[in-house]
Amino acid sequence: MANLLTARRARIGWDWTDWAAHIYLVLGTLIMFGPVLWLVLSSVKSESGLQAFPPTILPYEQASVEVPQRGGALKLFTVTAGAHAGETLAEVRRMGLQSQLVDPAAPDKLIRVKLEERTPVMRLHAAWENFTELFSRFAFGRIVWNSLFITVVATLITLLMNSMAAFALSKYKFAGRDPVFLLMLATLMIPPTIVLVPNYLIASQLGLTDTPWGVIWPAVATPTGVFLLRQYMLTLPDELIEAARMDNASEWRIYWRIVLPLSAPALAVLAIFSVMWRWNEFLWPMVVLTRSESFTLPLALNSFQGELTTQWHYLLAMTVLTLLPVTAIFMVLQKHIAQGIASAGVK
């Protein structure tokens, strides 16, 4: 880390290119990472904290104190002028331009202070209830389960289907192999929006709407995945497969015991892609899933954005939760992802 921060072109002195590079990189980091950081910090702000102006970077909340004689929690203010200047008092109520305050230590005596002569006492406070309430007030667990189920099952099926197709296309010689492969690749050129309606008609004919399978099945055969795996499998030596054939292995065993384990690096890349695609997928689930209990996370996020009001604190908390798994996967496996992008030319 220290090496990275003080990296220079030459050993001695700072060239202007060093400055330029560092400034560029710091700016880049801020632009890329700033919004994410702000999102995370904002997700633990209280509802009022979010609406405060000017906005704060850290999650602040007005401090309050428990005054049983006055009926519970009262907000704390510091008096800035007048006879009580400098004292920290709890507000009982506002009346017109005046505020009625009490000393929490002596709650019986009301003190009147002009509104502009008091400032709220702020303290750092993370509103974790944004997160916990997601689970208690909404069927958030259900939504997470939907997303998890769709992501995991679709990824497993994707890996299986695509690797079988890739095995056939890379290791068998049959008439029409190359046209079939080209045809598959050609489907990459059709924008998904064009096949949206036909796909929906098929899904509804098959009774797949409003089920997780309606999201899973149409997406499992990806030309990108077949392409990526096929290119990798082409590099496996044919002699290995011939050796296995001499070893009495059935074609399924060759696939399962030899080809699949040896394709693990490519499978890992495709698994990462598939998880990211399925986890973040929005348009197709929105079309297929209509009942809120079958929603996935992106759909639930969307539903928080009402026409009149938006519950920003829940929306932000949920966004953070949605980002976490993909971010974690990316951090752990970024080397494989970079390699996969390089080898397949996809993103």
Partner 1 sequence: MGALSVRDVCKQFGTSKVIHNVSFEVPDGSFTVFVGPSGCGKSTLLRMICGLESVTSGEVVIDGAEVNDVAAARRGLAMVFQSYALYPHMTVYQNMAFGLENIATPKAEIARRVAEAARMLRLEPYLSRKPTALSGGQRQRVAIGRAIVREPKIFLFDEPLSNLDAELRVDMRAELAALHRRLQSTMVYVTHDQVEAMTLADQIVVLRAGRVEQVGRPLDLYNAPANRFVAGFIGSPRMNFLDGEFAEARDGCAVVSLPGFGLVATDRRADGLAPGARLTLGIRPEHAAIDPVGVVKGGITLVEQLGGLSTVRIDAFDLTVQIAGQTSLRLGETAHIGLPRENLHVFDAAGLALARKDAA
Q: Which residues bind partner 1 (CB under 8 A)?
A: 237, 239-240, 242-250, 253, 257-258, 261-262
Task: For residue 222, give both structure tokens.
Answer: 């990806």
CA dist list (Å): 277 to 107, 191, 210, 215, 266: 58, 15, 19, 12, 16
Least distance between partner 1 and beta carbon 233 (Å): 14
> For residues 254 and 317, which CB has a smaller minimum distance to partner 1 in the complex?
254
Q: Are 94 and 115 in contact (CB under 8 A)?
A: yes
Residue type (1 letter), 338: A
Q: Which is nearer to partner 1, 187 or 250 (CB)?
A: 250
Q: What are the backbone dihedrals phi and psi of residue 71, each rounded to the nearest 5 degrees, phi first? A: 85, 40
Q: How far is the CB of 336 from partner 1 (least distance, A)?
A: 17
- CB of 33: closest distance to partner 1 in angstroms? 39
Nearer to partner 1 among residue 8 and residue 257 (C-beta): 257
Q: Minimum CB separation from partner 1 for residue 232, in Å?
A: 14
Based on CB atoms, which residue is closest to partner 1, 47 or 247?
247
Closer Cβ to partner 1, 72 or 237, answer by number: 237
Cα(101)–Cα(96) distance, rounded to whole angstroms?
A: 14
Which CB sits closer to partner 1, 205 or 248?
Answer: 248
Separation of alpha carbons 140 and 297, rounded Å: 9
User: How far apart are CB 260 and partner 1 at their closest, in Å?
Assistant: 10
Nearest by Cα to 279 from 304, 266, 301, 296: 296
| Cβ partners under 8 Å of residue 223, min gap 6 | 184, 185, 187, 188
Shortest approach of partner 1 to residue 34 CB, angstroms?
44
Q: What Rg, from alpha-carbon coordinates, does the chain have?
A: 30
Phi, psi of 6 (to 5 degrees): -110, 20
Integer Cα distance of 234 and 78 in angstroms:
73
The minimum distance between CB 270 and partner 1, in angstroms, equals: 18
Q: H-helix or E-strand containing 114?
A: strand 106-114
Of 47 and 242, CB closest to partner 1: 242
